[in-house]
Structure 1
Amino acid sequence: MASKQTVHMNQGQGEISYARNSSYQNAEQNRMKPLIEEAIIDLCSNTNTLLHGKMVIADLGCSSGPNALALVSTAVMAIHCRCLHLQQPPLEVCVLLNDLPDNDFSTVVKSLVTLRQSNEPVVMTGIIPGSFYERLFTSGSLNLVCSSCSLHWLSKVPEVLIRDHIPAYDIDEQARRERLPMVHEAYAHQFKTDFTHFLKLRAKELAPSGRMIVSVIGRPSDGSTFEFFHIWEVIAQTLSIMVSEGVIDKEKFDSFYVPMYGPSSEEMRAIIQEEGSFSIREMQHFGDVMDEFARIGKQYWSLEGNLENMLAKDTMVAVSLTKA
């Protein structure tokens, strides 16, 4: 996650911890493996990479638990296999993991010990706390950047909504429908600002011809122009039920905003092309990964109604980029 606000996954290994409730994120990471393996093949064919004999990989928004090393482990294994295939000396690999300072890095550090025990390739590791909406690495120092299920977290809530006291989700259905275009536009603008900034930062940190693989929870491309992010809607509906039961004060609910937005593939493509630092190698959409989210949602939230139908409107968008 990346918001500068105090937002992070539940720590530890308890029942409600991220480590025990992150199976749908794992499913998405598994779908990203071919994109990462393709990127490694490309990088291992690069003369500069072979000349320097090393590769630096960063995972932005690694979180904690069993998924923290999933992407970088895929990359390390792909490097090992590619070096064997090319019958060349193993590359030295540096793995850097990033998330917000409040992330449960204690469990991540323990997991890194296992990764470093491998001798081929030689793996050095590091933890980089901070928001990925800030500079994190030195110029031209990275070869591969990965980020899974993180970029839908915004750097902040759209200021216009807070300033004008516009609830992100109004309990009154008619008022909610009237305000939806305005709320959607505010969140879409914030995502464009954040994602553009993210691309500019990573372009500075990546080496020439560096690769980046990212995925976000988004919306289908054929959705309504003002269709909102439905996972947000699930959260809002849960809280609205708590308001009706008197658990949460309505005034607090109206002033509650989740710094979260799910873009369509067209939005992401347009932002990438307009920013200009990267070329798109491949863009994919996955819908079935949300089935696991729906199952967990039903189990823990016990929401009434068509939860599956709501979540079916969300999808995963994965994109493979090359630094232009």
Structure 2
Amino acid sequence: MASKQMASYARNSIIQKGTQNRMKPLIEAAIIDLCTSGRTSSLLPEKMVIADLGCSSGPNALALVSIAIEAVHGYYDQFQQPPPELCVLLNDLPDNDFNTVVKGLVMLRRSNEPVVVTGVIPGSFYERLFTSSSLHFISSSSCLQWLSKAPEVLVRNQIPAYDIDEHARHERLPMVLEAYAQQFKKDFTHFLALRAKELVSGGRMVVSLIGRPSYVISSKFFHLWEIIAQILSVMTLEGVIDKAKFDSFYIPVYGPSCKELRDIVQEEGSFFIREMQEHDPTTDYANALVTPSRFLNHWRAIFEPIIVQHFGDVMDEFVRTAEQRWSLEGSIQDERSRNPRVMLFVSLEKAQ
């Protein structure tokens, strides 16, 4: 039980916290724009609905909506007017720990005046979650790299995402990466269309997700799922897990580039890009993940559910195999430098 707690998301979300801190100025700017547009068109808005998608649980669950609330209150204070009534809604998948989230929402409601109405909305953000034209502001942090499902073409044709045979893996790599890219495009396009229906005209959305640097072409990028697949492939060769199960395992994660995101937003057409940033996350957490145990706890917190669901209770062996891989001094830093990742930040405005 202790090891489970040490590997929990709540204890291993330092990178996500750094990402949320980076989102703060974008959220504040979006809120000010919303309030300013309301002031120029008529009166200051009397109510506002704020939603966070993929809130998870733990210390970061309320971070983004708290930033938005403070920005709203700060703007209204400038004009010596009472802030609007706010409705704050948090979303995540149904198996999220909403008990701790609800307790946080109760504290949030008690500490703000006037009324802050709060609620949770379980469900996938790849489906409709809110009524039409009901939201003013949406945020989402470190979530949209998750796909709605594994790439259909790979599953249908029984093509492994990571073939144990090196020659076959290199031959299939372009097809695999293209399948992941197309699934991301389909999912992100659908996400934008859904949110456009739920936001008011001129509503704002600020999101972040893991991506690849602009200077790295897709075929040379080491995707998030490849690190997990490498460890699992060793376990397969050692006979710990079944090869057929390994070949049918797909982690639904994809890291796009800024250009991919921009092209999808422009092609979908419901939003204007107000700002887009690319940031190296390693500068936010310095040496926080330099030891194998800390690095493993971070990855385990993210990927354990999907691994256990497919392979059963193999996490102890997974940890042992990974520790062997990263036991040499500097191996984690070397792996991070060979396979750079960035956080992508996008501020969007719904077209009128």
Determine if the TM-score, normalized by the shorter chain, exceeds 0.5: yes
Alpha-carbon separation, structure 2, partners of 1:294 and 1:243:
31
Match of 1:322 in 2: 349
Alpha-carbon separation, structure 2, partners of 1:271 and 1:310:
30
TM superposition shift of 1:17: 1.3
TM superposition shift of 1:53: 0.5
**Greater alpha carbon shift after TM alignment, 45-54 vs 118-127:** 45-54
Alpha-carbon separation, structure 2, partners of 1:289 and 1:44:
34
- Please tell me whether residue 295 in structure 1 is matched to residue 295 in structure 2: no
String of CA shifts for 1:18-50, please: whole Å, max 9, x gaps.
Answer: 111111111111110010011111111122695
Residues 294 and 236 of structure 1: CA distance in aligned 2, closer, same or farther (over 3 Å)? farther
Letter of the 1:204 counterpart: K
Alpha-carbon separation, structure 1, partners of 2:288 and 2:188:
27
Q: Give yes or no for contact 2:15–2:281 (8 Å, CA) kept in 1.
A: no
Letter of the 1:57 counterpart: I
Write out aligned runs for 1:48-197 (5 A): 50-197=43-190
Q: Give yes or no for contact 2:53–2:91 (8 Å, CA) kept in 1.
A: yes
TM superposition shift of 1:89: 1.7
Q: Give yes or no for contact 2:290–2:333 (8 Å, CA) kept in 1.
A: no
TM superposition shift of 1:253: 0.9
Listed as ranges, the gaps of 5+ residues in structure 2 are 297-321
Match of 2:310 in 1: none
Alpha-carbon separation, structure 2, partners of 1:154 and 1:278:
21
TM superposition shift of 1:239: 1.2
Residues 126 and 78 of structure 1: CA distance in aligned 2, closer, same or farther (over 3 Å)? same
Match of 2:264 in 1: 271
TM superposition shift of 1:289: 3.8
The count of aligned residue pairs is 313
Normalised to the residue count of structure 2, the TM-score between the two structures is 0.84
- Please tell me whether residue 311 in structure 1 is matched to residue 336 in structure 2: yes
Normalised to the residue count of structure 1, the TM-score between the two structures is 0.91
Q: Which has the higher helix share?
A: 2
Alpha-carbon separation, structure 2, partners of 1:294 and 1:269:
32
String of CA shifts for 1:230-269, please: whole Å, max 9, x gaps.
Answer: 3211111121222233221222111100011111111000
Match of 2:10 in 1: 19
Report percent identity of matched pairs.
64
Letter of the 2:37 counterpart: N
Q: Give yes or no for contact 1:184–1:228 (8 Å, CA) kept in 2.
A: no
Letter of the 2:5 counterpart: G
